[in-house]
Amino acid sequence: MFKKLIILLFILFAAATTHAQTADEIYNKYLDFNLKRLQGEGDALTLGQDIIPNADKLKESMRNSFYYSIANLFENDGQSVKAIEYYEKVAVAVPNYYVAHRALGYLYLKDVTAISEKLNAAKSDINENKRLTALYIAATKKALPQLEKAQSCDPSDETLATIKMLYKNMKDTQGAATLDARLKAMSKNCIDLLDDK
């Protein structure tokens, strides 16, 4: 019985030591990733992709910072779908970090624009027009909260004009009428930098 207990304790100790080393290795990769990213080295994205499967081993604040950085690299590399995935993680974890919301809003806006172009081309097809209108409204409703959070924290004439145009295109007069009040309420809780300590 005593031997079994010692063997079990040894196994548990070995597992804990292995986990700590793995977390340390991920942390070191995270530091290397940040250095390469800040120096503009092209392999930062590759190193970041190596970290993704083990990102849960980073402290939460570091993980949020990592997810934002990797999302930004994916976006700059033209990989919008992957960028959205990681920006969404940041927006959920740090809902007042408006920078991630701005990125999401403009990435979602690409879908709105693409659907709008198809909608304009399908004016003569009533059924297709209805289907595309529903898709347009759904895509717009996905982009608007993101753009509004960004606008509330970092006002921009361009973003405000986009928001107003989207409400106008959806014929949502109530949403447009209450926009200023929503922006004012959201502006009270804004984070512009992620803490990774």
- Kindly report, residue by residue over 89-145, the tens digit of the pLDDT: 999 999 999 999 999 999 999 999 999 999 988 888 999 999 999 999 999 999 999
pLDDT for res 168: 96
What tokens appear for 46 in the block?
């590759």
pLDDT for res 2: 59
CA 152 to chain centre: 18
CA 166 to chain centre: 21
CA 28 to chain centre: 24
pLDDT for res 20: 44
Residues of the chain with pLDDT under 70: 1-21
Q: What is the dihedral of CA 70, 71, 74, 76, to 10 degrees?
A: -110
